[in-house]
Amino acid sequence: MFRICKIFEIESGHILSRHPDNCRFPHGHSRRVEVILEAGGLDGNGMVCDFKAVNEAAGDYLASFDHALCVNTSDPMFASLRSAYGERVIAFEDTEPTTEVIARQFFQEIRKRLAEHAMRPDAKYGIRPDVRLACVRVWETSTSWAEYGEP
C-alpha cells in the first residue's frame, strides 16, 4: 500500500461553549491539516496521484476555514456572531466544533470532493478510482492533533 500526504495550513478559531475552562471563549489555532491518500499501486507517472490534484479537490474548501470561526449553533452568541461576520462564522449544527469533529467534517467533505474530481474527464491532474482517502489529521497545536478516517 502506498500513501501520500498533502498538508494545508489554515488559521482558524472556534468556541467550545460547553468547555469548563478557557476554551469556552473564542480562540484561534494555526492548524495543520494532513490529507492522507492511499492506493495499492502507482499511476503511469509513478504516483498515487499528483499533489496538485489533491490541492484542486480540497484546497478551496479548506481555505474557506481560514480566518473563520467555528461555532455550535446552540451557542447563545451564534446568531450575533453570524450576523456580524457572515460566512466567516461556520455553523456546526448543535455540535461542539472540537478538533475531532472538524477532522470528521473535513474527511467527509474532502472524500466527496476527491470523488467528484476523479469523475472530471477534463481534469489536468486526475485521480484514479482506486485512490482512497485514508484519513484526515488536524493539528490544533504543535503537540496535539485529532484524526478521522473510515474503513
The pLDDT tens digits of the residues spanning 73-94 come to 999 999 999 999 999 999 999 9
Selection from 21, 25, 32 nearest residue 102 by Cα? 32
Torsion of CA 5, 1, 38, 10, to 10 degrees: -20
Mean residue pLDDT across the chain: 97
Rounded Cα distance, 114 and 37, in Å: 10
Q: Is the pLDDT reported for residue 43 higher than 90?
A: yes
Q: What is the mean pLDDT of residues 89-117?
A: 98
Q: Where are the domains of the chain?
A: 2-148
Q: What is the mean pLDDT of residues 52-69?
A: 97
Rounded Cα distance, 147 and 31, in Å: 13
Percent helix, strand, coil in the chain, to 5, is: 30, 35, 35
Q: Is the pLDDT reported for residue 56 higher than 90?
A: yes
Cell readout for 130 is 482506486
Q: How confident is the model over 21-39, as pLDDT tens digits?
A: 999 999 999 999 999 999 9
Q: Is the pLDDT reported for residue 151 higher than 90?
A: no
CATH of domain 2-148: 3.30.479.10
Q: What is the mean pLDDT of residues 55-81?
A: 97
pLDDT bucket at 66, cuts 50 / 70 / 90: very high
Please name the amino acid found at residue 48.
V
